[in-house]
Structure 1
Amino acid sequence: DAGRLRQVNQRDSSDYEDMSITTVGVKNIRARQTTSDAFDFANLSYKWNDALTAGYGFGRLDDFYRQHLLSLNHLLPLGDGQSLKSDLRFARSTDEGGSNVDNKAFGAMFTYGIGGHALGLGYQRMSGDTGFAYVNGSDAYLVNFVQISDFANREERSWQARYDYNFAAVGIPGLTFMTRYLSGDDVELGAGREDGKEWERDTDIAYVVQSGPLKNLGLKWRNATVRSTNFGNDLDENRLILSYTLPLW
């Protein structure tokens, strides 16, 4: 797929506006201007077999940055309802003459599944003169991009431990649970300042009605806690999400 975006509509806004780079965290990104009216992208993926898929993506925010993105996904069946999923990602971001963007981002997530259980371990590393650049309001191409933090600050390294459970395994289809903990350190805050640290804990519990007049109605509760050292804000957040899927045919 490929395309060009000219404007965005943020979640907390009612109008369309030009695009800007996210300012979350400590990314050390500087630019001559604040907004852009052109984001070009192209993505290609190839499924080598039922277990292995590779992908390449390109993104360009006019006057700000260019990005090349590589991905590799593999699913290894282990028998008896067990599997190991591997998700590897690498991104290289450079400036377009109007900013100082310079970042390499590597991420890996490995998830072991057995029955209704899934246990995941992830690692993410930033390197370069800046943190990871992406359009404000969008999802970052990172394994540790979660509910509040992106763990994509300058020189940051972060780990993730995640647990999921699908209650269909015990006869309650539609009910799911997820919890994860992420910890980041080595955040470069500038000369004379101690490196920054942060952590985030997220919990989701969701249910989708399986039958009757409310079939496909989903209810999800999300809770998150973020704490940081030497930068950022301490946050506690709750989200209640209602969703509905309407089959068209």
Structure 2
Amino acid sequence: MYNRSLPASLALAGFAVGISLTNTAQADFVKDSKLSLGMRNYYYDADNRSGGADQREWAQSFKLDYISGFTEGTVGFGLDLQGLVGLHLDGGKGKHPAANTFTPSDGDGSAQTTWASAGATAKARFSKSEIRYGSTLAPNLPILVSNDSRLQPQTFEGGMITSREIDNLTLTTGRIEHAKGRASTNSTGLSVSGATQDSNNFRFAGGDWKATKDLTLQYYYANLENFYSQNFLGLVHVLPISNDSSFKTDLRYFKSTSDGRNGQAGYTFNNNGGYAKNAGKVDNTTWSAMFTYSLGAQSLMLGRVQVSDDGGFVWLNQSGVVNSAGKNEGEGGASFYLFTDAVVGQFSRAGENVNIGQYTYDFATLGVSGLKASLSYMNGQDIKAANGHGPDQHEVETDARIDYVVQSGMLKGFGTTLRHGAYRSGGTGIANQDQTRLIFNYTYSFF
């Protein structure tokens, strides 16, 4: 399969290398470089309790990352390279869905046995500012979150500038043009859930201000041309109570509105399968408040998320984008900056009020360093029926997670994660599902 972002990335790579390998400038470029191989073994089991096809797959991924240093001088240049290889180990007949989000599909709909892709990002640094342009961007911002919850990471192609010239203030701006899904070797344009058209213009800007050592304030603006504009406000405050206890407040507010052709054929937003005041258009306000009390090895998180009545929450999601043959290429599956981004459900439809609770325990205090466990519960009520006239709907999910990372010896850094989610809906039309994920991670650093 042809990767549209790869030729541009390789051209950038050659340009950056040519700049970097001059005189003594090569020293820092090489000396500060890092080369690592990440290995992920992943078993994924989605059991649809309401009927319909199940999904059971097992695969192995290898991710080779080269991260260079910067050349010497007022402006330093560098280059990051990434190569991905995947091996499908087992899936069972009929256990690989057409609209997959785990591994790429062959022409007949079965899982590919092997696949590979590569990308590069050129970078430059001036003072305390850095610019990156390429195809391996993995932002973690309130308005754009790269998803790494499956076998391989989701990456973006475009440019970003990050500046820390002012103490305690981090400013970020950029423009994203393409995305490569976690189950694909191709890049596509950008879109939203339910749309069949795409856009090559996602612009964003914002900043994080650490007002005090305990208080961080955030503002971000994002615009996906012909789909939506979005404003975000955030506040994070940590109140120390004693040497081993604290109280954390995390407030998030999103305001999203329609842009350009949104609502026209192909540019419609399906409002996450829920109600829309204006059919196919983005019109949403979502806020969340989360409070976490930590005491020693334990933490208890309680909170609430409220989605406005006019339409569902919106974020970048290429799930509806297909290739020239009309087939899904595994571009679906995207993260968003809400606490309702759960194992199975999303809890993000019009009118939904979600109550959330989570308990986490760190077993290091019992002498088992590296072992952590958590249990969370989400209950979404008052979901407006898609037709706007039916009775309100609801959904519930219980998630459990266990993580263990080896702390010493030959396998130091070897990690195991077991996640299980049980989702049940009431009148939403979404299938009840039990989902289990068993993941083994290990990264070897060459230098």
Asked whether the two chains share a fold, i.e. TM above 0.5, the reply is yes
Tell me, in whole angstroms, the C-alpha distance in 2 between the residues paired with 1:50 and 1:192.
Answer: 49
Structure 1 191/55 Cα, relative in aligned 2: closer, same or farther at 3 Å? Answer: closer
**Match for residue 131 of structure 1 among 290, 308, 312:** 312
- The number of residue pairs the alignment matches comes to 241
Residue of structure 1 in register with 2:432 after alignment? 234
Are the equivalent residues in 2 in contact too, given 1:93–1:103 (CA < 8 A)?
yes
Identity level (%)? 36
Tell me, in whole angstroms, the C-alpha distance in 2 between the residues paired with 1:6 and 1:87.
Answer: 31
Amino acid at match of 1:209: V
Tell me, in whole angstroms, the C-alpha distance in 2 between the residues paired with 1:39 and 1:239.
Answer: 32
Gapped regions of structure 1 (runs ≥ 5): 24-30
Structure 1 66/12 Cα, relative in aligned 2: closer, same or farther at 3 Å? Answer: same
Structure 1 245/44 Cα, relative in aligned 2: closer, same or farther at 3 Å? Answer: farther
Which of 121-130 and 10-19 deviates more? Answer: 10-19
Q: Deviations over 1:75-130 (max 9, x none)?
A: 01111411101100000000103222110000011000001000000100011421
Tell me, in whole angstroms, the C-alpha distance in 1 between the residues paired with 2:299 and 2:256.
Answer: 32
How far 1:21 moved relative to its partner?
Answer: 0.8
Tell me, in whole angstroms, the C-alpha distance in 2 between the residues paired with 1:74 and 1:50.
Answer: 9
TM-score by length of 1: 0.92
Tell me, in whole angstroms, the C-alpha distance in 1 between the residues paired with 2:246 and 2:200.
Answer: 44
Residue of structure 1 in register with 2:260 after alignment? 97
Tell me, in whole angstroms, the C-alpha distance in 2 between the residues paired with 1:151 and 1:8.
Answer: 24
Tell me, in whole angstroms, the C-alpha distance in 2 between the residues paired with 1:7 and 1:233.
Answer: 31
Structural mapping, 1:1-249, within 5 Å: 1-23=172-194, 34-99=197-262, 100-136=281-317, 137-189=333-385, 190-231=387-428, 232-246=430-444
Q: Deviations over 1:55-79 (max 9, x none)?
A: 1111111100000001100001111
Which of 171-180 and 78-87 deviates more? Answer: 78-87
How far 1:13 moved relative to its partner?
Answer: 1.9
TM-score by length of 2: 0.52
Tell me, in whole angstroms, the C-alpha distance in 2 between the residues paired with 1:42 and 1:177.
Answer: 36
Amino acid at match of 1:97: G
Tell me, in whole angstroms, the C-alpha distance in 2 between the residues paired with 1:206 and 1:247.
Answer: 21
If each structure's helix is expressed as a fraction of its own residues, which one has the higher value?
2
Tell me, in whole angstroms, the C-alpha distance in 2 between the residues paired with 1:227 and 1:21.
Answer: 25
Amino acid at match of 2:185: S
Are the equivalent residues in 1 in contact too, given 2:343–2:435 (CA < 8 A)?
no
Give 3-state SS (helix, strand or coil) of 2:188's partner.
Answer: coil
Gapped regions of structure 2 (runs ≥ 5): 1-171, 263-280, 318-332
| Higher CA-based Rg | 2
Tell me, in whole angstroms, the C-alpha distance in 2 between the residues paired with 1:129 and 1:192.
Answer: 13
Amino acid at match of 2:245: Q
4+ aligned runs moved over 4 Å, structure 1: 245-249
Tell me, in whole angstroms, the C-alpha distance in 1 between the residues paired with 2:444 and 2:173.
Answer: 27
